Each structure stands twice: as structure tokens, then as C-alpha cells.
A and B are shown apart, each in its own frame.
Chain A
Amino acid sequence: MAEQELKASKDIWVFAEQKNGRLAGVVYELLEPGRRLAARLGGKLAAVLFGCGVARTAEELLSRGVDVVYKVDAPPLAHYNSWLYPRLLEKLVREEAVPPHSILIGATYAGMDLAPAVAARLGAGCSAHCVRLDLDEQGNLLQNVPGFGGAVMATIVTPYVRPQIATVRPGVFPAPDFAPADKRGEVKEFAFTFPGAAPVRVLSVKQEEYTGVPLEKAEVVVAGGAGVGSREGWAKIEELASLLGAAVGATRPAVDAGWAKEAQMIGQSGKTVRPRLYIGIGISGDIQHIVGIQDAQKIVAINANPRAPIFKMADYGIVADYQEMAPLLCAAVAQAKNTQTNK
């Protein structure tokens, strides 16, 4: 592909995924690398916003310091549509005199679908689930992605094709603090003109109720694995979590057993958490789970098997049957909280 001519602007585009006008959490996180890369390149930070009735959402993006919002507002775009969105994004890229340097897309279910589809339409490269983004001397985007479940990290470059497209794992980049911009960006509105009926149609959207503390934002996460053994045991995990004001996380076997919801799964195919404290109970420490907790400031593990791999990755490990240890820990935490309030 070396023969291809390399023409691109210095602009970074961020896909501003929204649901009912509310931006997905990862969009705020994308603004950090987006702003940093655009500044280093000397280009603009743009947001691509598709939706229905999203004028307010565009305003919010501007207030977050985005230079340009490319907006398409139409009823068929209310929800992510795997036929319409890739075609629209392709059109926006092609309507520019030169394509953007890079497009950053959150690795949400919608983003993981949109990014490869639009990349294929453009014949562009696409990296998956980036955890670090940087630039090399030639101005290529260095895209660090986990491989083999997270055991290794690979650096991907796309030297000969623009735009460079990357999906970014939610929960990896911290959302920048809200800083009102001194200079105001602009909204560029595009009409939705689409021939014919889409062969993919959204009929309805079902929200699952999950009432606990959201994992992504939790300061403390208490997670349970297969070693918890039963629904009664799981109640002990939840009790400890509630004492600590923690979110409850799970490994895949714990989700499969029905003790926890899919939305509580941490790891390669689940969520990334970055709490101040993570407590793993009855979890062996398989790489597919550990990749989701590596950014935790402190890791404490309780496991009955002294050779469990999680002990090597923990700050403190307790070799114990959790049925014995969890109540002790609950008691100690309760007592510590009491002495605190008595002071």
C-alpha cells in the first residue's frame, strides 16, 4: 500500500456517540487524547454527532472545547444503525477536501461495529481497543492494543493510509475536567439525504435495570469469581461491597452461574475499572479478567489456593476460604467505620 499518496489534514475526529441526546461516557474520555493529539499536530479537534434532536448535545460538545461539531440530525439516526452510520461517516470523510488525520471511536458495542465498517468502506486501517495513543516522528498514530487476551501489547501503525481509525477502550483515558473554552467552536450541519429504506431497522430498545453503583465510576470494586460457589455466597460479596460503598464486579463464570449480570463482568470482554481499591474474591486471576483491573491503585485478593495466579498481581493476598475471611473483613470494616464516626 506504499504506493498510495498520503494526504490528510491535521485534524482529529472523535465519534460522539449519544443515546437519547446523552453522550456516551467514553466520548468525554476520547476528548483527552483527541485534544492532545490535535494540539501536537497543530490541527483541530472535531466531533461527529449523529442523532435525532441533538442540538443541545452539539452545544455541550462545544462547551467542552471541541472546535467543530459535524452534525447530522434526523429521525432514522436516533439509535445506532449499522447500515446508516458507517455510510454517513464515510460520506463526511469523503466530502472533506482531505481526510482527517485520525478518527477515534469508543469501543462500545456501537463503536466496535461502526469503526471496522467505515474503515472497510474507506479502505483504511483500523486498530481495536486501544489503551494508549501517541505519535511517532513521521506523525503516524501509534496505537497500543492488547493482544492474546491482554498478555501482550502490540503497537499498531498505519503508515500509508489516512484517516487512521482507532477504537478506544472505555475506562482507559480519564475524562478531562470540564474546562470552558475561551474560543468557541462551530457546528457544521449536514442534511440527511438517504436513498431508499435501510435493510437494518431498529424496532425497540430495552434497558436493563441495574441499580448498584456503576462499575466504571466506582472508587471501590468488590468482585467475585467461580470460587464464591453459590448464590448464598454471593450475598456475602454484596454485603462486603455495601459496607464499603463499592460496586460489585464479576468474572465470566460468576456471570454464567447467574449470580451477577453481564453488565457486571470485568475483563477482556467486559468492563475496564480503575478504582482506588479492587478486592477479588474466589478469582483465579486469568489474564482475560486481569486486563480489566490493571489500573486499580490497590489490589487485594482472597483465594483458597496459595498458587492462584492472582496473588502475583495483588498488592496483598490472603490465602483463605472466603467464607471464613469475608465475615472477618466485614466486621473489621464495620468497626473501623464506627471508630471513625465516634471521633
Chain B
Amino acid sequence: MKPLHCIVCVKPVPDFSAHAVEFDRQTKTVRRENVPTIINPLDKNALEAALRLKESYGGKVTALAMAPPFAEDILREVLAYGADEAVLLSDRVFAGSDTLATSYVLAQGVKKIGAFDLILAGAASADGGTAQVGPQLAEHLGIPHVSFVTSLTRATEDTLELTAKTEEGTVLLELSLPALITVSREINEPRTLALFGIVAAAAKPLRIFGAADLEVDPARAGERGSPTRIAGVFEVSLARKGEILPAAPETAAFLAQKFKEWGVL
């Protein structure tokens, strides 16, 4: 079967698994300083799926991100995992993009990259977590897509057989290429970074494009191109009484009594 060109969408996200989310009551924003940036966890699964396709059929893996210039480090890391090329879309005009504007800019980036067979994205990002960018990117490009993919095989030269999540289990689907998929955690176990990969990454091409390089209509990017606005952000307090009881039979009896009071026993 013919080799495949896969494009993997990679979003740099703040690592809130190691740092608790801190809310700044003055500025009403989440503090991001001192929080390291990482590859969005599910995008590592997307990258892994693309690398496996390349190992099976040959071809090329291109990583694509829209982010501020500091994201270069993240893309170097993606190259170290085994991607062949990376493209960073970075421009002041892109700032403040919601999912519609983000996916539009990414679509222009894909057009710049050129011919491809499959685009892979994470099902959702750890910070925004909207799960919207994948399907919207597919719509901007006019290609079919499947979300929440849990397994993938190449059925024929131009079709994939996929399983995707449903509430009750899974659904088996056939998808014609070129297409886009968003992947769930179950799809694979991403590989770990190897030293030779890090060395090799330094020599791989990493291109940075701004609005002018991309034929981006400024009215469709950034805040201007975003139909949604954030009208306010507030902290959620989940604190409760938090009464601490000792580990003792009396505690068990006390709770059983409470269960009765609460009408669940």
C-alpha cells in the first residue's frame, strides 16, 4: 500500500497535573507563570498513532501547532519523538482565537503544508478541553472526520477501519481518506523519548509561519474571528464542612446513623 502523509495537531498546554490550578482573584485569570508547558497528553497518543502508520506503510509525519513562539520547544520535542517536520503557526493576529478561529488558522496551515492523507488530533485538550478543534478543522477543509477513536487499522489503500467510543460501548466505522480523526487515550500507549531522537531532532526542519505566509483572512482569526467571548471567569469553591472522624467502629456506627438521616438507608 502507498505511503501515508500524516499531519498531527499538537497543542502546547500548561501542566496542571504537577501544579494545582491557581486563580488570581485580582486579574480573574488562572496563573500560568511557573507552570511548565507540555504537549497536550492526548496529542501524544495522536502522534503515536501517526508514527505507527509511518512504521507500517512508510511516509511522513508532520506536526502542526498554532501557538506563541515559545512553543518551538514543544515542537522540537515532537520531532524528538519521531515526527519528520514541524510547522508552527505564530502571529499576534492569532491571539485570542476561540475554537472556530483556531481551527480556521490550522486549516490554512494544513493548506500551506500541502497534500496529506490523514490528520490526527487529540480528542480534547487538557486546558480548554472543548473537543471542538478536531471536527471544526475537518469542516474547514471539507474532509470527513471521526472523533474519539479507540483503534485504527488500514482496511484498503484509501480507507481506515476505526472503532470510536459511544456511551454504551463502541461503534465500528469505515472512513475514506483523506480524513481527520481525533483519538482517545485507549488507542495506544505513547512511546518514551529516546536519546537518539533528541539528537536527531535538532537537524529536522521546523518552519514558522505568520498570517502573511498563510493567506489568513484577519477577520476570521484571533479575537476578531471568534464568535464566542469570555464574559467572565470565576473561581469555583467546592469546599464543604470537612469534619474529620477517627478510624474507629464508633465512626462506622455514626455514619450508618447519618445514612439513615439522609434517607439512603
Question: How far does the alpha carbon of A149 sit from the alpha carbon of B147 in the complex, in Å?
Answer: 20
Asked, given contacts A116-B135, A117-B135, A126-B228, whether A109 binds B165 with beta carbons under 8 Å apart, the answer is yes
CA–CA, A318 to B247, complex, Å? 6
CB contact between B170 and one of A148, A206, A336 (< 8 Å): that residue: A206
- A110 vs B228: C-alpha distance in the bound complex, in angstroms? 22
Whether the pair B136, A117 counts as a contact (CB closer than 8 A) is: yes
Knowing A199-B144, A204-B172, A205-B166, say if A128 contacts B256 (CB, 8 Å).
no
Task: Assess whether A98 is interfacial by the CB under 8 Å rule.
Answer: no
Q: Contacts A124-B227, A126-B132 known; A152 to B234 CB distance under 8 Å?
A: yes
Residues in B neighbouring A121, C-beta threshold 8 A: 139
Is A319 touching B246 in the complex (CB atoms < 8 A)? Answer: yes
In the complex, which of the residues A142, A155, A202 contacts B173, with contact meaning CB atoms closer than 8 Å?
A202
In the complex, whether B174 has a CB less than 8 A from a CB of chain A is yes
Q: Bits for B217-238, please: 1 = Cβ < 8 Å to A, else 0.
A: 0010000111111111111101
Whether B209 is near chain A, meaning CB under 8 Å from some CB there, is no
Complex CA gap A333/B179 in Å reads: 55
The interface residues of chain B, by DSSP majority, are classed as mixed
Residues in A neighbouring B140, C-beta threshold 8 A: 120
Within 8 Å of chain B (Cβ to Cβ): is A305?
no
Q: Does B114 contact A (CB under 8 A)?
A: no
Contact A316 B21, CB 8 Å, known A112-B147, A203-B174, A244-B265: no
Selected interface stretch from A46-54, A64-72, A294-302 = A294-302
Q: Once the chains bind, are B30 and A151 in contact (CB under 8 Å)?
A: yes
Complex CA gap A200/B131 in Å reads 19
Interface residue from A119, A202, A320 paired with B247 (Cβ < 8 Å): A320
Chain B: CB-nearest residue to A329: B252
> Which residue from A117, A128, A262, A337 sits with its C-beta under 8 Å from B129?
A128
Chain A CB within 8 A of B6 CB: no
Q: Choose the segment among B45-53, B60-68, B96-104 that binds chain A (4+ C-beta atoms closer than 8 Å).
A: B96-104
Interface SS of chain A: mixed
A residues within 8 A CB of B242?
311-315, 317
Q: Does B211 contact A (CB under 8 A)?
A: no
B264 within 8 Å of A by Cβ?
yes
Query: Hey, which chain A residues are within 8 Å of B169, CB to CB?
Result: 205-208
* A320 to B244 alpha-carbon distance, docked (Å): 10
| A159 at interface, CB cutoff 8 A | yes
B30 contact set on A, CB distance < 8 A: 147-148, 151-152
Identify A155's interface contact among B147, B163, B231, B249, CB under 8 A: B231
Q: With A117-B138, A155-B232 as given contacts, are A287 and B260 in contact (CB-CB < 8 Å)?
A: no
CB<8 Å pairs between A and B, sample of 9: A116-B139, A129-B129, A152-B30, A152-B233, A200-B146, A287-B21, A314-B241, A316-B258, A318-B244
Given A124-B227, A336-B259; 5 other pairs, CB 8 A cutoff: A116-B136, A142-B231, A155-B230, A277-B259, A315-B240
Measured CB to CB, the residues of A under 8 A from B are 1, 19, 24, 79-80, 82-83, 86, 108-110, 112-113, 115-117, 119-121, 123-129, 136, 142, 146-161, 198-208, 219-220, 244, 262-263, 268-269, 276-277, 287, 290, 294, 297-300, 306, 311-321, 324-325, 328-329, 331-333, 335-337, 340
